[in-house]
Amino acid sequence: MRTIPLGMIGFGNVGQAFARMLLVKKDVLKKKHHVDFIVTAISTGRHGAAINHNGIDLERALFLRKTGSSLQELSKYPPHLSQSEIIHLSEAEVLLENTPVNYASGQPSLDHISRALQAGIHVITANKGAVLHGYRFLNELALKQHKQFLFESTVMDGAPIFSLFRKTLPAIELNGFEGILNSCTNLLLERMEDGETLDQAVKHARSIGIAETDPSGDIDGWDAAIKVAILVNVLMNIPIKLDGVERKGIRTIQAVEIQGARIEGQKWKLVCRAEKNGNKVIASVAPEKVPLKSPLYSVSGTSSFILFKTDSLPGLGILESNPGPETTAYGLLSDLLTIYSEEGNL
């Protein structure tokens, strides 16, 4: 049995879901994979930090987070340590970096990840900003340090997107893709089709934890555009920045347009597209009316879908139905097991 220490920066919905998953799957991981993952450090923005090399009591940490209390009581170290100090003191083999996304710069996630890799620590993240702004730099740093930098959960939560191409589609060329990659807008458009205003639909999305207090990242297409850029950079190996993705959100769609599409037997969807054009790529995010025959038509609620267009497999699709923090957490766990299975230690 191998005991593997983990560090966590960020303990929001996804971090907490990951902690719960470790508790639930603890016996399965021991029996099937002969591994015991312990969390030796948790750092949060507003709820303190804890470091314990014997393993933090995750049930207690979850309770403290739920009640808004500080994690400091679980720590063997004094408070007010810097993130750099926490990373080094954690003695972790893997860092899970899940701080809130920064669309503009990818910070502070970029700094956390680069510090950990420089310290010889594998890194897993669900942070789209860090991958968008630092993919090539961080990937090269990981290779130099003989460590892994994985980010399955950045697009379509725990669905196998990056691992699909990395592991099971050798010698294939991705020529393009189309899909629905923002589950919030998919839900908003569906509820507007049923007669709600955008404000009413957003209120519902907030009530179930799908929309943020400021939903502009979803409504104006930023979240979808970031995912498109990440897919182009990683899977198509074509450098592209966020401003290279033509972006239009759903904010200006009127009720009369939505009802008109319904009469025509069509549905409005926020569609993500990318297609190779020589050595470049044409990428976009925009609302479209899709017909009944389109595979995007039946993608409902908070589900996501992507259709890959490759040189050998003309149409390969993946549908993820109604994901949540647990599915994102599974993507983190999948990456974690990938690190050790590829090392031949599981």
Q: How many residues does the chain have?
A: 346
Question: Which strand ranges, in their side-by-side order, compose the sheet holding 49-51?
Answer: 49-51, 35-43, 2-9, 94-97, 122-125, 149-150
- The two structure tokens encoding residue 287: 């609302």
Q: What distance in Å separates the CA atoms of residue 22 and residue 28, rounded to the nearest whole number?
A: 10
CA-based torsion, 341, 43, 106, 204: positive or negative: positive
- The two structure tokens encoding residue 346: 């599981």
Q: Which of 22, 37, 21, 43 is nearest to 115 (CA)?
A: 43
First to last CA, the chain: 10
Just list the catalytic residues.
Answer: 227
